[in-house]
Structure 1
Amino acid sequence: MVSNSRKNLIYSLVLLVLIGAVYLYRNREVSQIDGQNNSPLAGWVNLSGQTMGTSYQIKFKTNRNEDFQSGVDSIFSRVTNAFSSYEVNSEVNRFNLDDSLASPSPDFKDMLAFAKDLNTQTLGAFEPTQKPLENLWGFSRTGPYQKDSIELMYVMPSVGIQKLMVSDSIIQKSNPGTLLDFNPSALGWAIDEVATYLEKLGIADYWIQIGGQIRANGQNERGELWKAGIRYPDLSTGEAKEGVLALENKTISPAGNWEDFYVRDSTRISFTLDPRTGMPVRHGLLAAWAITADSKKADALAEVLLILGTREAIKMDSLDTELEMILIHNEKGSSLKIYASPEIQPFLSFPIQ
């Protein structure tokens, strides 16, 4: 026979397990970021897979019954064929191998026009021809180093999107060393195209995530704003914590990593090159999130913020009413700090001091 004391112990253990299970169930929504829930409710569609060297997740609410996957695959195929450095025969790779690209696709011409405009607006900080600089420089925990013995003065003439000659029928290089890289905006371009596809079908509630970039519109399965995860430092302890940003019909795009850096003159510095100088940045901005309604612009501007540095980024925040941002930075000898645009602070789960 089992003693009463042993029975009581068993009952207590079972009760603790049940209480723990209920607690985890009731709090699953708190710890879960919206895109990680792979079992949407009835009326919701969930698509996922790989594209352009990374993963994607698309969730949306609809009462339509059709093959959404083929529509999304068609968009990804078109964007990959134009911009992906992972596709050997993509237009961007064919341009980089040759001195010109004949009969560019409408997507390719539109991307070039977008890139030229943003290059002008950011005074050269957004530069899709900086690949030769990336080939020249490397980074380690001890700092930047030159991977190639070629002098910077020989590389810089090949950098500059304004040096490309563009017409309806052909795109040509003025310098054979020029290389295009649309990765800083191609994922955002694909997200915008998928969003347009869904909206044309009358779909208003959706989540589109490619890599670390997210566009969210309308509401999630719980009738709330979608929530994107933000990894941030606890300013008192320096430990990494998980927070969220509620997205209201906007895109969030990250750049940099505040946990990965090298130190110069008591300042933590990111592994970032400035295409305007050809040199690594020297400021203390380590990570940036750009938040705006235009996904391809958010994708590109996140990288731009990381190049500009904290002061210039905040100045840009005050001038561009369509752009919001989160910055994690430090100054010489100081601890990490967090800046967030005033407009988004009520949508963050953590306070900004």
Structure 2
Amino acid sequence: MSLVKHYWLALVGLAFFISGCSEQNSLYTLQIEGRTMGTYYQIKLAEPKANLPNGEALQTKIDAVLQQVNQEMSTYISDSELSRFNQHSANNAISISDNLALVLEASLQLSEDSKGAFDVTVGPLVNLWGFGPEGRPEQRPTEQALALTKAKIGYQHLSLSSGKLSKDLPELYVDLSAIAKGHGVDRVADLLEAEGLHNYMVDIGGELRLKGHNDKGAGWRIAVEKPSAEQRAVQKIIEPGDNGLATSGDYRNYFEQDGVRYSHTINPNTGMPIANHIVSVSVITPTSMMADAYATAFTVMGVEQAMRFAENKQLAVYIIEKQGDEFVEHISSAFVPFVVQ
């Protein structure tokens, strides 16, 4: 979902196959669940019983697709494509796969469009503030440590041309956690389409792609969670249609020191955790990949800049901001049609 730091792990093996069929209007649901990228995945298919595929065979194909995504883009697999690039300290260009190039091209374009609010090289700052695998520091980073770490990041140091990737900063480290999980969702959706399945919900750790209808013959409906660490409740119900959906939240992953709350979302431009009172951003776009990336960018931007950007680009964006003890909603004009009244 975001530079909020998703922990990327290799596929951790086949979780047991779960199939549930519930009859409504002669439609059945086939549900497949597993683990990938350090989180869960869940796929629901709604079809007449005769059209449902063999669940176990389909899950094998799904796991193969997700394993390939990991092998291309995980920073936790030492010989993944991305890890090999990160370990490469020279400035000569390296040929990369079409899939990795697709994700990096989208990342670099959004970095430009968002004026650096989205930056896939921000990982060292995330680690410095203790939201990466190295754990939380006992003290707030010093100004010197911040300056030294900021000197190691910057999407401007990446160059992608004709399927070849290079960097002009030897220590540059790329982490695609803010976009690749959404890309994985899209890859699974592509697989389902190729299998002739057109009524589905693909969910990887909260990043979604939806198509067609559920087993009631109606569009898929999704609950946006109330951004509260104290309770689990529904803030709003939406029906995203045939689109991708991502939500970035900032209300459960933070730490406090000396009365100051430090968010897990880092602003690449300042090197500091964000302090703009955004607690949740939901984005609907045709692909889960871009919804995933935009949700992070808008979280960093802040309400005013994010909503201006959304209206200019006609993007469907729903932001929840905490003002004192109240939650204030900001909804772009393109998001309104998706809200279930």
Give me the TM-score of the superposition, normalised by structure 1: 0.76
CA contact (8 A) 2:30 2:52 kept: no
The amino acid that maps onto 1:71 is K
Mapped partners of 1:77, 1:252: distance in 2: 22
Q: Structure 1 residue 338 and structure 2 residue 305: aligned? A: no
Mapped partners of 1:240, 1:345: distance in 2: 24
Matches within 5 A, 1:32-111: 38-41=20-23, 43-62=28-47, 63=51, 65=53, 67-99=57-89, 102-111=94-103
Q: Structure 1 residue 329 and structure 2 residue 321: aligned? A: yes
Per-residue deviation at 1:281? 2.1
The amino acid that maps onto 2:297 is V
Residues 64, 228 of structure 1: alpha-carbon distance in 2 compared, 3 angstrom cutoff = closer
The amino acid that maps onto 2:292 is D
Matches within 5 A, 1:155-170: 155-168=149-162, 170=164
Which gives a bigger RCO, structure 1 or 2 (Cα 8 Å, sep 6+)? Answer: 2
Per-residue deviation at 1:92? 1.6
Q: Which residue of 1 aligns with 2:113?
A: 121
Structure 1 unaligned spans of 5+: 1-35
CA contact (8 A) 1:136 1:150 kept: no
Q: Structure 1 residue 213 and structure 2 residue 198: aligned? A: no
Q: Structure 1 residue 242 and structure 2 residue 211: aligned? A: no
Identity %: 28
1:203-244 Cα offsets, whole Å, 9 max, x none, are 22110000011111111001111122212269xxx9763243
Mapped partners of 1:216, 1:46: distance in 2: 14
The amino acid that maps onto 1:339 is H
**More helix per residue:** 1
Of residues 119, 126, 134, the one that matches 1:134 is 126
CA contact (8 A) 1:83 1:186 kept: yes
CA contact (8 A) 1:267 1:330 kept: no
Mapped partners of 1:251, 1:242: distance in 2: 20
The amino acid that maps onto 1:336 is F
Mapped partners of 1:73, 1:240: distance in 2: 30
Give me the TM-score of the superposition, normalised by structure 2: 0.79
1:218-276 Cα offsets, whole Å, 9 max, x none, are 11001111122212269xxx976324322211222111234666789x99874321102
Q: Which residue of 2 aligns with 1:184?
A: 178
Structure 2 unaligned spans of 5+: 1-17, 132-136
1:288-309 Cα offsets, whole Å, 9 max, x none, are 1111112100011111111001
Q: Which residue of 2 aligns with 1:283?
A: 276
Aligned residues: 308
The amino acid that maps onto 2:198 is A
